[in-house]
């Protein structure tokens, strides 16, 4: 332990230390949590028999299966054909032109209807492709038809074609449409032979009137593909049952969720690393340059203890609905940090511990998510309760009481979470829940009390609990001061009252100031009668030279420091004892020496210092002189007290005694008012009681 403190005191580059300590916390937390988040992998091959039921640890999309379903959906979409209404008009016009050509040939021929001439003239007026639709005999039959009969044939044909082409006709429906049009001609007043010829023309005139629409077809198929929902393997979904064969489809799914050996375990590791950095990032504010190495190392040790306890509890067997995570003493880490390092850091520690615990004790990360919300809330409630239940004035009994309160909060929070889940638990399970929640709070108090002295000694941290123990009047040094220098003891108590109130008024550590005042003059026990508060009659300095008297008075600082170090008191108290006089001048003996000889160096009659380095030391420096000066007044009043207080503060400023600490002029004004209020309360005016004439009491 001594070597550790020596190393921390000698390592001045705080930035170097805080970087490595923060890196250590990152590595530690990553190592603790990695085995919980690392995906489990299996040695499986195609057509093996599954030895256990395997569930998916994550939710992923099976893109290949999704693509297959989309292709199937697109294939089911029929081609889209668009009806061309203009085709009906075109075919009717075409058929009308054909009859017009026949009528024109008949009109030009007049009574001379030589078959050869009529056919020749008709060939000149009709497209070649239409000539092939009918035989020469059939064309001649149309040319020989009477005008009335031809007009009837024309109207019947146009009507039948228009009616047929007004409806959708695909290539597959073409024969049916043509047959329907031919059937319409059965009611026309035509000779059978002419009717057959006209029906043949109508059949040739009817064509498919719908065409393939590529754009509409592709759009419809795209819509069908968009309507296909992605095929997902859900978190916690059973991929293969125990005893089932590993088919190619199952093997593909196992590979997809990363459960086969040789998968991609680096992705969870990368995610965990980023998660750890994010979780510990608030500590960067605390790991700033002005934070001492001892505090940084202390927090690292507490955090390591927290993780070690969690890992040990994680190794305990757990089954059923009752998880061993509820046994974690989540409050002991925040309680230690609260006592040794402060409340804000304790709150951060409670949050970090809750998140880590919820992840570490999540039995099935794949089935229930990365973080168990219920366990996180439970651990956070216990950690914050441990932080806020500790009072300012600490003692071991207070820590025990805080442990009981944490146990109560644990029980209430756990029961509330169970009720919110609306789960069904047996009486045995509920009893186990309550016992574990209560044990968590009690274990937190036990660990806090047990680790406090170890951490204080190892890292040299002065906690409020240690200060309260040092303020016990039964401490050997305080008993020595009381028995050997009772006047100095009374003076120390008075200065403690003044300094504590003043420090609390400016936001400094009032408890540290009080306890330091108890010990600041402990060096006077070596020669108690040479100090005026311990003199019962006669002053030994009257028979000593000013130089010798000065040496005796100044020596009480070094004697006190040596005595405090011998009894291993905390460094903060030793420093205040060494700084409480700064480099002030012993004016009385200096002027006495000047009266004897002019060749006197002022530096010889000054305390060796150092000057006050902290606000607490500065306040004690002022309060020590103020108490002695006010106590010397025969009849102190408020005006006299205030005058002395402000005069002493002004003297300290003019003598540059407060140059090395960070106390401000505004704070000095607050200190002055606080000292005046406390002194006025002590030296208040009293009623003078009249003397009572003593008379003999007659007995009956």
CATH number at 539 reads 1.10.3210.10
By residue range, what is the domain housing residue 187?
81-212
Write phi, then psi, for 463 (nearest 5 degrees): -95, 160
- The answer to the question of residue 233 being in a domain is no
**Chain CA centroid to CA 109, Å:** 104
Strands 232-233 and 60-61: antiparallel
Higher pLDDT, residue 149 or 441 = 441
pLDDT at residue 368 tops 60: no
Do residues 456 and 476 both lie within one domain?
Answer: no
| pLDDT band per the 50, 70, 90 thresholds, residue 72 | confident
Do residues 418 and 476 both lie within one domain?
Answer: no
* H helix runs in 463-570, sequence order: 464-470, 476-484, 486-505, 510-519, 546-566
DSSP, res 238 = E
- Averaged pLDDT for residues 385-393: 80
Query: What is the spatial distance between Cα 70 and Cα 403, in angstroms, rounded to a whole number?
Result: 61
Do residues 598 and 667 both lie within one domain?
Answer: yes
The encoded tokens of residue 44 equal 């499986």
- The answer to the question of residue 44 being in a domain is no
**pLDDT for position 288:** 65
pLDDT at residue 2 tops 60: no
- The answer to the question of residue 258 being in a domain is no
Query: Considering just the CA atoms, what is the radius of gyration of the chain in Å?
Result: 53
Query: What is the spatial distance between Cα 237 and Cα 256, in angstroms, rounded to a whole number?
Result: 13
Do residues 454 and 477 both lie within one domain?
Answer: no
pLDDT at residue 174 tops 90: no
Query: What is the spatial distance between Cα 596 and Cα 505, in angstroms, rounded to a whole number?
Result: 45
In terms of phi and psi (left: phi > 0; alpha: psi -120 to 50; beta: otherwise), the region of 562 is alpha
Query: What is the spatial distance between Cα 526 and Cα 554, in angstroms, rounded to a whole number?
Result: 12
Query: What is the spatial distance between Cα 229 and Cα 188, in angstroms, rounded to a whole number?
Result: 59
Report yes or no on whether pTM surpasses 0.75. Answer: no
- The answer to the question of residue 300 being in a domain is yes
- What does the DSSP assignment read for 19-82? HHHHHHHHHHHHHHHHHHHSPP-B---TTPBPSS-EE-SS-EE-HHHHHHHHHHHHHTSPPPEE
Beta-carbon count within 10 A of 163 CB: 14
The residue among 520, 501, 698, 522 whose CA lies nearest residue 612 is 520
Q: What 3 state SS string does 155-169 have?
A: HHHHHHHHHHHCCCC
- The reply to whether omega before 610 is within 30° of 0 (cis) is yes
- The answer to the question of residue 241 being in a domain is no
CB 46 within 8 A of CB 255: no
Burial 321-342 (b: 16+ CB within 10 A, else e): ebbbbbbbbbbbbbbbbbbbbe
Give percent of the chain with pLDDT exceeding 90: 34
**pLDDT digit string, tens, across residues 124-143:** 667 666 766 777 777 777 77
Query: What is the spatial distance between Cα 623 and Cα 619, in angstroms, rounded to a whole number?
Result: 6
- Averaged pLDDT for residues 497-524: 94
Do residues 125 and 103 both lie within one domain?
Answer: yes
In whole angstroms, how far apart are CA 276 and each of 34, 282, 338? 10, 11, 23
Three-state DSSP state, 619: helix
Do residues 435 and 559 both lie within one domain?
Answer: no
First to last CA, the chain: 77
Do residues 449 and 517 both lie within one domain?
Answer: no
Boundary of a domain, candidates 180, 197, 212: 212
In whole angstroms, how far apart are CA 544 and each of 530, 550, 563? 11, 10, 26
Boundary of a domain, candidates 463, 480, 506: 463
Length of the chain: 700
Do residues 522 and 626 both lie within one domain?
Answer: yes
- What does the DSSP assignment read for 375-388? HHHHHHHHHHHHHH
- The answer to the question of residue 72 being in a domain is no
- What does the DSSP assignment read for 407-443? HHHHHHHHHHHHHHHT----HHHHHHHHHHHHHHHHH
Cβ-count burial of 580 within 10 angstroms (0-12 exposed, 13-18 middle, 19+ buried)? buried
Do residues 450 and 380 both lie within one domain?
Answer: yes
The encoded tokens of residue 286 equal 């605390």
**pLDDT digit string, tens, across residues 194-220:** 888 888 888 888 888 887 778 888 888
pLDDT at residue 10 tops 80: no
- The answer to the question of residue 237 being in a domain is no
**pLDDT digit string, tens, across residues 295-349:** 888 899 999 999 999 999 988 876 555 678 889 999 999 999 988 888 888 999 9
- The answer to the question of residue 222 being in a domain is no
Lowest-confidence region among 188-192, 574-578, 612-616: 188-192
Do residues 368 and 408 both lie within one domain?
Answer: yes
CB 318 within 8 A of CB 363: yes
Q: Domains in the chain: how many in total?
A: 3
Query: What is the spatial distance between Cα 336 and Cα 449, in angstroms, rounded to a whole number?
Result: 9
Do residues 313 and 458 both lie within one domain?
Answer: yes
**pLDDT for position 445:** 92
Boundary of a domain, candidates 463, 487, 512: 463
Do residues 454 and 506 both lie within one domain?
Answer: no
């Amino acid at each position: 332990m001594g070597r550790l403190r020596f190393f921390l005191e000698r390592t001045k580059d705080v930035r170097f230390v805080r970087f490595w300590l923060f890196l250590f916390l990152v590595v530690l937390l990553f190592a603790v949590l990695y085995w919980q988040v690392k995906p489990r992998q299996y040695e499986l091959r195609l057509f093996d028999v599954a030895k256990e039921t395997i569930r998916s640890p994550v939710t992923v999309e099976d893109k290949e299966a999704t693509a297959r379903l989309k292709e199937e959906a697109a294939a089911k979409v029929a081609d889209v054909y668009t009806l061309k209404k203009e085709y009906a008009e075109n075919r009717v016009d075409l058929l009308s032109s054909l009859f017009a050509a026949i009528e024109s040939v008949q009109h030009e021929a007049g009574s001379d209807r030589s078959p050869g001439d009529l056919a020749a003239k008709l060939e000149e007026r009709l497209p070649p492709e239409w000539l092939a639709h009918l035989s020469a005999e059939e064309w001649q039959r149309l040319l020989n038809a009477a005008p009335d009969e031809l007009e009837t044939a024309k109207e019947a044909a146009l009507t039948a074609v228009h009616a047929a082409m007004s409806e959708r006709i695909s290539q597959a429906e073409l024969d049916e449409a043509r047959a329907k049009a031919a059937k319409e001609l059965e009611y026309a007043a035509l000779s059978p032979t002419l009717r057959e010829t006209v029906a043949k023309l109508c059949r040739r005139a009817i064509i498919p009137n719908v065409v393939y629409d590529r754009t509409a077809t592709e759009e419809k198929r795209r819509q069908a593909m968009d309507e296909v929902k992605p095929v997902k393997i859900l978190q916690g979904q059973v991929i293969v049952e125990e005893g089932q064969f590993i088919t190619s489809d199952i093997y593909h799914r196992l590979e997809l969720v990363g459960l086969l050996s040789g998968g991609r375990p680096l992705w969870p590791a990368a995610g965990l690393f980023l998660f750890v950095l994010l979780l510990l990032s608030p500590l960067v504010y605390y790991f700033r340059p002005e934070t001492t190495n001892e505090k940084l190392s202390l927090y690292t040790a507490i955090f390591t203890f927290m993780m070690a306890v969690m890992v040990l509890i994680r190794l305990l067997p757990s089954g059923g609905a009752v998880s061993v995570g509820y046994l974690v003493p989540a409050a002991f880490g925040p309680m230690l940090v609260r006592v040794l390092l402060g409340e804000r850091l304790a709150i951060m520690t409670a949050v970090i511990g809750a998140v880590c615990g919820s992840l570490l004790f999540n039995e099935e990360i794949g089935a229930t998510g990365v973080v168990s919300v219920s366990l996180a809330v439970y651990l956070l409630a216990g950690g914050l309760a441990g932080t806020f239940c500790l009072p300012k004035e600490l003692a071991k009994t207070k820590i025990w009481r805080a442990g009981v309160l944490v146990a109560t909060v644990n029980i209430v929070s756990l029961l509330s979470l169970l009720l919110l889940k609306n789960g069904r638990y047996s009486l045995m399970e509920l009893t186990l829940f309550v016992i574990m929640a209560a044990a968590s709070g009690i274990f937190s108090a036990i660990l806090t009390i047990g680790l406090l002295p170890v951490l204080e000694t190892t890292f040299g941290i002065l906690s409020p609990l240690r200060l309260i123990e040092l303020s016990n009047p039964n401490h050997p040094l305080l008993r020595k001061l009381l028995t050997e220098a009772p006047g100095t003891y009374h003076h120390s108590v008075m200065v403690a009252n003044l300094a504590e109130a003043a420090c609390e008024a400016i936001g400094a550590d009032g408890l540290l100031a009080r306890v330091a005042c108890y010990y600041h003059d402990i060096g006077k026990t070596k020669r108690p009668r040479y100090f005026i508060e311990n003199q019962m009659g006669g002053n030994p300095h009257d028979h000593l030279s000013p130089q010798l008297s000065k040496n005796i008075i100044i020596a009480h600082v070094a004697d006190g420091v040596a005595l405090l170090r011998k009894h291993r008191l905390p460094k903060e108290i030793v420093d205040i004892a060494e700084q409480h006089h700064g480099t002030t001048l012993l004016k009385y003996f200096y002027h006495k020496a000047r009266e004897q000889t002019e060749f006197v160096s002022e530096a010889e009659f000054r305390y060796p210092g150092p000057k006050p380095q902290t606000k607490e030391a500065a306040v004690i420096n002022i309060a020590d002189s103020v108490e002695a000066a006010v106590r010397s007044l025969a009849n102190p009043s408020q005006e006299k007290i205030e005058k002395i207080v402000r005069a002493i503060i002004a003297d300290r400023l003019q003598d540059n005694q407060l140059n090395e600490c960070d106390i401000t002029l505004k704070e000095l004004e607050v200190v002055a008012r606080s000292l005046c209020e406390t002194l006025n309360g002590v030296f208040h005016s009293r009623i003078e009681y009249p003397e009572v004439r003593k008379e003999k009491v007659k007995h009956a």
